[in-house]
Amino acid sequence: MDVSFLGGPGPQRGVGVVAPFDFALDRELWRWVPDEVSLRLTRTPYVPVEVSLDLARLVSEHETLTDAVRALSASEPEVVAYACTSGSFVGGLAGERAMCAAMTRAGEVAAVTTSGALLEALAELGAHRVALVTPYTESVTRALEDYLREAGAAVTGRAFLGLTRHIWKVPYRDVVDMARRAARGAADALFISCTNLATYDAIPQLEAELRMPVLSANQVTMWAALRMIGAEAVGPYQALLMNGAASAPDPQEGVT
């Protein structure tokens, strides 16, 4: 009889994740994670505000991030990811960089945000023209467009739902319909925004149909966080993951 399991579980590498209070897709994040890596999640405190630019600013305040990362530090993650697109693009490029710096100071580990990971993924794919899909209102969608333009990317098309709540309940068929509308222009890649929007199983279908790389908020967040510790995200038929992992930066680099 095989009793090798009696020795206990193997070593687990840790990725800390800070998510907004209304995040409902923990299971989706895990689908990109290899067996030897464990996610350690925490959430920002509840605030009675619907999805908007105001909420994005509230859930990304440095004090909120610092408290969350310090709570995660007890589990000794090797990297910390802030899993929120709007919260990490609302302050533009400078705001995103400041968030990473605040998290690194709080946890003494490398940090990444969803919006920062998006820019890394676009660079990895050599994509400069981006079609956008969001569940947001028009004002939040425009703020994402502004962020991408500041980073030097051209937005070729967009589609959005105008939602302010219950984003995690949007079915795949709505995501696919929006993607088809957004991708009518000449784009190098399509990005599906919001970590609270389910995308994992829609990505392969859309890449086959649209014939372009399809990125999503949760996908790029996990891909970037994992490669910072020298691990690779898992997922079938996803161009970003099949493109070949670039050399990962040292997780301790830049830690003070």
Got the DSSP string for 28-64? Answer: HHHTTS-TTEEEEEEEPPP-S--SSHHHHHHTT-HHH
pLDDT at 119: 98
pTM for the complete prediction?
Answer: 0.91
Q: What is the DSSP letter of 5?
A: G
- DSSP H helical ranges for the chain: 26-30, 53-58, 62-73, 85-89, 92-107, 114-125, 138-150, 172-182, 202-210, 217-228, 239-242
What are 200-221's pLDDT values in tens digits?
Answer: 999 999 999 999 999 999 999 9
- Per-residue pLDDT, averaged over 100-119, amounts to 97
AA letter at 35? D
> Please, which residues bridge with residue 39 across strands?
15
If phi > 0 it is left, if psi is from -120 to 50 it is alpha, else beta; for residue 244 that is: left
Give, for 190, the enclosing helix (H) or strand (E): strand 189-192
Please, which residues have CB within 8 angstroms of residue 58's CB and are 6 or more apart in sequence? 47, 49, 64
Q: Residue 30's pLDDT is what?
A: 98
| pLDDT, average across residues 91-113 | 97
pLDDT tens for each residue of 159-193: 999 999 999 999 999 999 999 999 988 999 999 99
Structure tokens at 60: 């990304």
- pLDDT score, position 6: 66
pLDDT at residue 107, as a whole number: 95
- Mean pLDDT within 138-163: 98
By the 10 Å C-beta count (0-12 exposed, 13-18 middle, 19+ buried), 110 is classed as buried
